[in-house]
Amino acid sequence: MERHQTTRNLCLVGLTALLTVHFLMTFAVTLPPTPLTVEYGKAIDSWIYPYFSQSWSFFAPTPPTEDNFVIAQYRYKSSSGAIVESPWINLSRTLNEAAQRDRLSSLAIVQATVSSAYCGLVKSEIFKDGKLDEKLLHDRIATNRQPPALHTLERAAMSCYRITSFKGAPVSVRIGILDHKFPRFTQRYKPDDEAANNTELPFPFVPFESVAPFD
């Protein structure tokens, strides 16, 4: 009896400690920059993102007027032996739609991983003032020091190849960032043309690797 009581007490203490840490981390991430949050910013971000993050920008005084997607493009060898370059596919949308069809699927974790990797990529050292430093990117690739987030997105794209309609053996893949602008909230009556107002930021092709299916 005492043994069960001790086990229950230990579980209660552990759960209380976990919840306390979680509430402190959640509180810290909402604070404006302070010496403490700056010093422990990486630890706070690693706890909150991607699974506990939330975005309230939709309710801000100036709702967003653009959306960002991770896109992917493949080179594959056709049945005739020719190397074919595929059209771009919207990797973010593919995962979003799959996760929405089955909320209990492991795809929700993949979706969160891709979203987190995108955030990590645009915050990495290869972006300066929101713009890609292509020279630095190529230097990082040449020395095999590209941001881990970029490699994560590339492997996610490799895993997605089998669900595409492309017929042939994949040779290489590259990811890109698609920026789509839509009408402002005050002009929400205007149609949103998904084929217009798009800006693509492609990254270099990398050799295709065999990756286990994400589902």
pLDDT tens digits, residue range 118-138? Answer: 988 988 899 888 788 889 988
Residue 28 lies in a domain: yes
Q: Given a cut of 90, is residue 53 above it in pLDDT? A: no
Co-location of 67 and 136 in the same domain: yes
pLDDT for 204? 92
Co-location of 28 and 79 in the same domain: no
Torsion of CA 38, 110, 137, 179, to 10 degrees: -90
Residue 26 lies in a domain: yes
Residue 176 lies in a domain: yes
Measured between alpha carbons, how far is 150 from 203 in angstroms, rounded to an integer? 9
Eight-state DSSP code of residue 59: G
Co-location of 42 and 64 in the same domain: no
Residue 215 lies in a domain: no
pLDDT for 199? 83
Q: Given a cut of 60, is residue 1 above it in pLDDT? A: no
The residue assigned the tokens 């929101």 is 130
Q: Which two tokens stand for residue 67?
A: 């959306």
Q: Which two tokens stand for residue 66?
A: 């653009």
Residue 212 lies in a domain: no
Q: Given a cut of 80, is residue 55 above it in pLDDT? A: no
Co-location of 11 and 73 in the same domain: no
Co-location of 150 and 187 in the same domain: yes
Co-location of 108 and 37 in the same domain: no
Co-location of 68 and 91 in the same domain: yes
Co-location of 158 and 118 in the same domain: yes
What is the total count of domains within the chain? 2
Q: Residues 14-50: pLDDT tens digits? A: 899 989 988 888 888 777 777 877 787 888 877 776 5
Q: Which of 4-18, 39-53, 105-119, 166-180 has the lowest average pLDDT?
A: 39-53
Tell me, yes or no, if the pTM score tops 0.85.
no
Co-location of 44 and 92 in the same domain: no
Strand ranges (E), 114-214: 127-128, 131-132, 169-181, 198-202, 206-207
Say which residue, 183 or 23, is predicted with more confidence: 23
Residue 54 lies in a domain: no
Say which residue, 39 or 1, is predicted with more confidence: 39
Co-location of 95 and 152 in the same domain: yes
Taking all residues of the chain, what is their mean pLDDT, rounded to a whole number?
82
Q: Which residues span the domain enclosing 143?
A: 60-207
**Nearest to residue 92, comparing CAs of 119, 69, 108?**
69
Co-location of 27 and 82 in the same domain: no
Measured between alpha carbons, how far is 21 from 28 in angstroms, rounded to an integer? 10
Co-location of 157 and 132 in the same domain: yes
Say which residue, 41 or 1, is predicted with more confidence: 41
Measured between alpha carbons, how far is 145 from 138 in angstroms, rounded to an integer? 10
What number is the average pLDDT over the span 180-185?
A: 72
Three-state DSSP class for 194?
Answer: coil
The residue assigned the tokens 């020719």 is 82
Q: Given a cut of 70, is residue 158 above it in pLDDT? A: yes
What number is the average pLDDT over the span 173-196?
A: 76
Q: Residues 185-209: pLDDT tens digits? A: 666 667 766 666 778 899 999 999 8
The residue length of the chain stands at 215
> Which value, in Å, is the radius of gyration of the alpha carbons in the chain?
21
